[in-house]
Amino acid sequence: MDYFPQLVAERPDIALCRASTAVARAAEQAAAANGVAVGSQLVLKMLAAVGPCSQQVLSQGLRVDRSMMVGIVDELEAAGWARRERDPADRRAYAVTITPSGRKVMTKSERTVPAFLDETFTALSAGERSQLTKLLGKLLLSE
């Protein structure tokens, strides 16, 4: 049951991976409780924020391979949460568009995020949590 202590103390890279798997599992569970997968939720969030865009733009913005974005948009379309419209300016690309029902689901599931974060990061105070967010942001933007 006990961690080999030097693992966490000496290897922030390993600690990052271990924390990630635990947190990802919790996120998937929390999203599933709203009937949405995490990937779909993020696509809806991005569509609502930036408006209709191509699968290419979605996959780059969310760091998901475009071949996986196909399946996510398939699911969104099947659920009636988004539509593939044609981009008149470039007929190779779709203009993926969020529907009113998609917006509703997105808003509803977004409301559960703070509680999920509170529970998942309960070991950290509010200050520590924003510290963590800031550090991870720095790390990611340097990639």
Partner DNA sequence: TATTGTTATACTCTATAACTATA
Partner DNA sequence: TATAGTTATAGAGTATAACAATA
Structure token digits, residue 142: 């340097």
Binding of DNA at residue 56 (CB under 7 A)?
yes
**What is the number of alpha carbons within 13 Å of residue 126 lying toward its C-beta?**
2
Distance between the two ends of the chain, CA-based, in angstroms?
Answer: 34
Task: Find the binder of its own copies among 37, 62, 79, 93 (CB under 8 A).
Answer: 62
* 131 binds its own copies per the rule CB under 8 A: yes
The interface with its own copies within residues 37-56 (CB under 8 A) comprises 38, 42, 45-46, 49-50
Q: Is 35 left (phi over 0), alpha (psi -120 to 50) or beta?
A: left
Instruction: Decide if residue 83 touches DNA (CB under 7 A).
Output: no
133 binds, options DNA, its own copies, none, Cβ within 5 to 8 A by partner type? its own copies
When the beta carbons of 48 and 93 are compared against DNA, the nearer one is: 93
Alpha-carbon separation of residue 36 from 64, 99, 102, 137 (angstroms): 17, 15, 11, 25
Chain positions contacting DNA, by CB under 7 A: 21, 25, 28, 54-56, 59, 64-70, 73, 84, 90-94, 96
